[in-house]
A and B are shown apart, each in its own frame.
Chain A
């Protein structure tokens, strides 16, 4: 028997409400995060991820409240990402009831944050979230052909995304959340080459994200090396149910819970 491949719905949370945008621009409001989290738990989700996209610092208190209320009634692991700038932010989220915290932009700006957070709280609760894309034509290439982006995929950094994932592991993160910004919102399938390239250089679990549109998209992501698959809008708008995705994985010979 082996550890099951995890199916993880992601909820984008803005000032305490759930939203999900197509390619992160056109946002649609769709509900109470705690209610949705409970529904996903009942559907068989293996973990939950909240991505906090709250812009103003004043509204961030609502995020802690959402995390607190979710931890009260959901008994599967909860990861929270978005807006984490310093070790104190990680501490606050863990105290509110998050099991893991994912760090993205702040780690690009200051990689040592990953080491500090991992040393203090343990590798098991620090996730490096990598928003990666294929380097657009006409821009300086990276060795792997993939680069790290910031600002929701709008800004390239020139940092090689595969190297960055490996660096994250060196700095002590316990997991890589790999989000393809090219595939995100397209519902055309995961970027399998990107998953394989990252899988080849890290030994921590890799969560594949971005591009899921149908049941058949998930098994190839696992075959490419993903330990977990994450999706937002397809679950969120009821196009796919967690159980359907798991049935599809099971039929493809993948171990699921």
Chain B
């Protein structure tokens, strides 16, 4: 059975992520143990709340290094919500800039929209060939709750590597809703809270592990 570790660094409702991944067919452990996190078939990096608080929590369990070491070895990592945001170079909240893990260039900033947080079920526009959204209806909706996002995708595609697959969504303006980039995948929405559509997406990820 595919073994997944949900990285426990004190952020959010880990139980939901654990249950949803289990339902999608994985054996799931919630842990901050470095060896467990390095050796799992897949690592989920959850995250809710403030960018700076998540980054501090992540560093406290050496999560940034765990992510880096896994990716260096081509081992899959899935970031969810703020767990996706911290993969970028930096986040700016309330005028304060915080360094992220820097796996992707770019800044996570406040969306320009009439109503924030962007809270509720929205559609997404995946690119052709997406694995993450395979088998999902184009009208499928996913549960978002966030005020900040990557409003641009800045990673240049190099000829040597498979280009990243970037999925966009819109709330007031366009933002990055999901990324599939080699072993590093992420969603701005919460698949663990997105009912059947979210379960399908998690199954799609688990099948690649």
A residues bordering B, Cβ < 8 Å?
A: 1-6, 41, 46, 68, 71-73, 75-77, 94-95, 97-99, 121-125, 174-175, 203-205, 227-228, 257
Contacts and interface: CB of A to CB of B under 8 A. Distances in A.
Contacts of A5: 120
Interface stretch (B12-20, B66-74, B97-105, B149-157): B12-20
B48 A125 contact: yes
Interface residues of B, number: 36
B170 A1 contact: yes
A73 to B, nearest CB: 8
Contact of A77 (B19, B50, B114, B193): B193
B49 interface: yes
A123 B115 CA distance: 13
Given A72-B19, A99-B13, A204-B115, A6 B121 contact: yes
Q: Top 10 A-B pairs ranked by shortest CB distance?
A: A122-B49, A257-B121, A1-B123, A3-B120, A4-B121, A3-B122, A124-B145, A257-B141, A97-B15, A205-B119
Given A75-B193, A121-B49, A97 B16 contact: yes
Interface string B18-37: 01100100000000000000
A226 to B, nearest CB: 11
Contacts of B120: 3-6, 46, 205, 227-228
Contacts of A175: 117, 119
B171 interface: yes
Contacts, number: 98
A122 B13 contact: no
A5 B122 CA distance: 10
Interface of B: 12-13, 15-16, 19-20, 23, 48-50, 53, 114-123, 141, 143-147, 170-171, 190, 192-195, 198-199
Q: Which one of B12, B20, B143, B199 has the greatest number of beta carbons of chain A within 10 Å?
A: B143
Given A4-B121, A75-B194, A205-B115, 9 more contacts: A3-B119, A4-B141, A72-B19, A76-B143, A76-B194, A77-B145, A97-B13, A174-B117, A227-B120
A75 B123 contact: no
A75 B117 contact: no
Contacts of B119: 3, 124, 174-175, 205, 227
A253 B93 CA distance: 35
11 contacts: A2-B122, A3-B120, A6-B121, A75-B198, A76-B143, A77-B193, A124-B119, A124-B146, A205-B120, A227-B119, A257-B121
B16 A99 contact: yes
Given A2-B122, A121-B49, A122-B48, A76 B117 contact: no
A228 B115 CA distance: 12
A125 B144 CA distance: 12
A71 B15 contact: yes
A75 B20 contact: yes
Nearest to B19: A72
A87 to B, nearest CB: 14
A204 B117 contact: yes
A121 B50 CA distance: 8
